[in-house]
Amino acid sequence: MADNTAPSARHFIHDLVEADNAAGRWGVWPDSGRPRVHTRFPPEPNGYLHIGHAKSICLNYGLAEQYGGRFNLRFDDTNPVAEEEEYVQSIIRDVRWLGARWPGMYDDRARPAAPDEAIKAGVLFGSDYFGQMYDWAVELIKKGRAYVCDLSGDQVSEYRGTLTKPGRNSPWRERGVDESLDLFERMRRGEFPDGSRTLRAKIDMAHPNLNLRDPVMYRILHQSHHRTADAWCVYPMYDWAHGLEDSIEGITHSICTLEFENHRPLYDWFIDAINEGRTDDGSGPWGRKVHHPQQIEFARLELSYTVMSKRRLLELVRDGLVRGWDDPRMPTLSGLRRRGYTPEAIRAFAADVGVARFNGVIDIVRLENALREHLNRIAPRRLAVLRPLKLVITNWPESGDGAVDWLDAINNPEDVAAGTRRIPFSRVLFIERDDFHENPPKGYFRLFPGNEVRLRYAYFVRCTGCVKDPATGEVTEVHCTYDPATRGGDAPDGRKVKGTIHWISAAHAIDAEVRLYDHLFARPDPDDLSLSGSAHEPGAVPKNWKDNLNPRSLEVLKNCKIEPSLVDAGMAHDAFDIPNPDRFQFERLGYFAVDSESRSGALVFNRAVSLKDTWAKIARKG
């Protein structure tokens, strides 16, 4: 998928694929002679992709890449009610950003003349197969395997029965083939209102699997489609379309999440029904057999401190609880990208959590650690002060040739080739407010009256006092003296200091806004409505999952001070305007990325992740 990504641990799907390859189940690719492995990622364009989808993309594309196969990006766009072109564009950009590639995709670095159309090159759509699906539905009617039913939606549910009670046959189950063919054609022509009729498969109304109790194949919807416009007013149901799309494309391994396990018998039934009367050589009355893929299920990704349901994510956006789908607190890929996540980190996370047969909740720390590890390797180090407090070096010259000292600072200790940069040092600096304490607690090794610390890349300084606001008593200025012999951060006499703090030259500082993001929810399980660990005031019991939103998930800091080398920090865009923000480690503070709202002269940075897992410390304290 890309360089610098840990390979996925071996899992049960590898075993299945390799068993198929060894048996020659799917044949070989003509061009390479390697066993055929053909996977797909089939999103519905009714929302934005999230981290759970990323796991599926990595799995499907990774298998195709590992075994020399092919990967399709195909939209399951069979429900015109909720699908929009906006989602199509967003999903394609997210899949490209994550690193997946597919046959026929536009992969030129030059910006195309019509990017919204060019980006769809090689992308497949289930709606392109509407005609073939319709023809196969007609075939099933002719075979006595499907019928037009006049029951309403509520009546269909009532007749279906329960897990402990068999269903009842529809009064129209024995409708004649010719009548069903006529009605189905008239349904297509738009002669009937929405919901008045459906096409149903004729299977078994007493089957223990409710999905096989005469499932609906087509419903009437007079709804314009984002691709086919008003060409159709009957639309295929997911269970009918899913396997047929896979079959048409020659998919070998149709990989789904566990909620579709009970749908697999229906997946197989539909293709078997089409293949009735067909032969391998096409000599049967219905022609050649259609391809029959294998459906495989795996556990979906659930992440702590997060909701993954599209419905809930949409509710957060519509209720104004977040600032859009790309809010950096959201688990959407656009939100993670804006926060500062890299595709490499997400791929490494997907490899780390692996593929399982049983659902479980993954600690979000594993996702954060994947980002920390990647940014630790690639992110340039910079100095920034988020809550500035003035520090005056009283024995430093106020003017003249010695007023500014340019010091060497390491760009990235993990990458020697990154070299160094020059940063200015002067009489007046800014330090973090919590790096000074007038009456320090035990174990505090930063600045306090009489104590000596190291200024990162600079000198030893000793605190000689402070200035306070007479009205509030707040410290407004710290005074220090410096030792000229300690330039670079070491003392020739061998003395040591226990504290090292960062700083910014006041005369050279650039103002910036910094947004400190944290978990969107205050509890690992947003559905936990117990009193213990309430995100709200003591005694307040949350009424629903939204009451568990973290009230401190975002803190906006104005007038932060950053070093002058960050003046040109910004955001690159590829040929399709997929953003790639500059990312940095602000030393001692965390990893930060330039936000999309950042502008020249008004820089905005998002905290992507802290240097350490602060929530683990909170949990240990109880």
pLDDT of residue 5: 47
| Rg from Cα positions in the chain | 31
Q: Looking up tokens 């965390």, which residue turns up?
A: 590
Question: In the structure, what pLDDT confidence band is assigned to residue 535 with cuts at 50, 70 and 90?
Answer: low
pLDDT of residue 534: 52
Bridge pairing between strands 460-468 and 452-455: antiparallel
| Mean pLDDT (the chain, rounded) | 94
Question: In the structure, what pLDDT confidence band is assigned to residue 603 with cuts at 50, 70 and 90?
Answer: very high
Q: Say how many residues make up the chain.
A: 622
Which helix (DSSP H) or strand (DSSP E) does residue 462 occupy?
strand 460-468
Q: What are phi and psi of 110, to 5 degrees?
A: -75, 145
Give me the mean pLDDT over the 167-183 stretch.
98
Q: What are phi and psi of 608, to 5 degrees?
A: -75, -45
Give me the mean pLDDT over the 335-350 stretch.
98
Instruction: Check 36, 264, 300, 339 and give the catalytic one.
Output: 300
CA distance 340 to 583: 7
Residue 620 has pLDDT above 70, yes or no: no
Give me the mean pLDDT over the 134-144 stretch.
99
Query: Of 108, 106, 34, 94, which is closest to residue 61 (Cα–Cα)?
Result: 94
Instruction: Check 101, 310, 487, 546 and give the catalytic one.
Output: 310
Environment class of 160 (CB within 10 Å of its CB; exposed 0-12, middle 13-18, buried 19+): middle
Residues 299, 55 contacting (CB under 8 angstroms): no
Neighbours of 438 (CB within 10 A): 14
Bridge pairing between strands 70-75 and 124-125: parallel
Q: Looking up tokens 């909170």, which residue turns up?
A: 618
Give me the mean pLDDT over the 350-373 stretch.
96
The model's pLDDT over 382-431, given as tens digits with 9 standing for 90+, comes to 999 999 999 999 999 999 888 999 999 999 999 999 999 999 999 999 99
**DSSP output for 24-89:** TTT-B-TTT-PBP-EEEE---SSS--BHHHHHHHHHHHHHHHHTT-EEEEEE----TTT--HHHHH
Give me the mean pLDDT over the 599-615 stretch.
90
Q: Mind listing the domains of the chain with CATH numbers?
A: 12-122+299-372 (3.40.50.620), 145-235 (3.90.800.10), 382-505 (2.40.240.10), 511-621 (2.40.240.10)
Bridge pairing between strands 590-594 and 388-393: unpaired
pLDDT of residue 400: 86
CA distance 294 to 315: 35
Give me the mean pLDDT over the 344-369 stretch.
96
CA distance 291 to 268: 11
Bridge pairing between strands 381-382 and 583-586: parallel
CA distance 479 to 435: 13
Which tokens belong to 60?
């499907």
pLDDT of residue 8: 62
pLDDT of residue 284: 85
CA distance 217 to 241: 8
The model's pLDDT over 568-596, given as tens digits with 9 standing for 90+, comes to 999 999 889 899 999 999 999 999 999 99
Give me the mean pLDDT over the 560-565 stretch.
98
Active site residue 84: no
Give me the mean pLDDT over the 21-27 stretch.
97
Partners of 421 in the β-ladder: 409
CA distance 53 to 332: 9
Query: Of 501, 438, 443, 445, which is closest to residue 464 (Cα–Cα)?
Result: 438
pLDDT of residue 622: 47
Look at 292-306, 358-372, 608-622 and tell me which has the smallest mean pLDDT. Answer: 608-622
Give me the mean pLDDT over the 465-470 stretch.
96
Task: Compute CA distances 52 → 108, 300, 306, 350, whole Å.
Answer: 29, 7, 11, 9
pLDDT of residue 443: 93
Say what percent of the chain tops pLDDT 70.
96
pLDDT of residue 107: 80
Bigger pLDDT: 303 vs 109: 303
Residues 513, 556 contacting (CB under 8 angstroms): yes
Residue 616 has pLDDT above 70, yes or no: no
Counting other chains too, the contacts that 124-128 makes at CB distance below 8 Å and 24 or more residues apart are: 124/72, 124/73, 124/74, 124/75, 124/249, 125/74, 125/75, 125/77, 125/227, 126/42, 126/74, 126/75, 126/76, 126/77, 126/78, 126/241, 126/245, 127/75, 127/77, 127/78, 127/225, 127/227, 127/228, 128/227
pLDDT of residue 1: 62
The model's pLDDT over 51-108, given as tens digits with 9 standing for 90+, comes to 999 999 999 999 999 999 999 999 999 999 989 999 999 999 999 999 999 999 998 7
Which tokens belong to 535?
């995100």
Environment class of 610 (CB within 10 Å of its CB; exposed 0-12, middle 13-18, buried 19+): middle
Instruction: Check 18, 44, 315, 513 and give the catalytic one.
Output: 44
Q: What are phi and psi of 338, to 5 degrees?
A: -65, -35
Active site residue 300: yes
Classify the C-alpha dihedral 115-121-127-128 as positive or negative: positive
Residue 155 has pLDDT above 60, yes or no: yes
Active site residue 185: no
pLDDT of residue 226: 94
CA distance 40 to 60: 6
Which helix (DSSP H) or strand (DSSP E) does residue 14 occupy?
helix 12-23
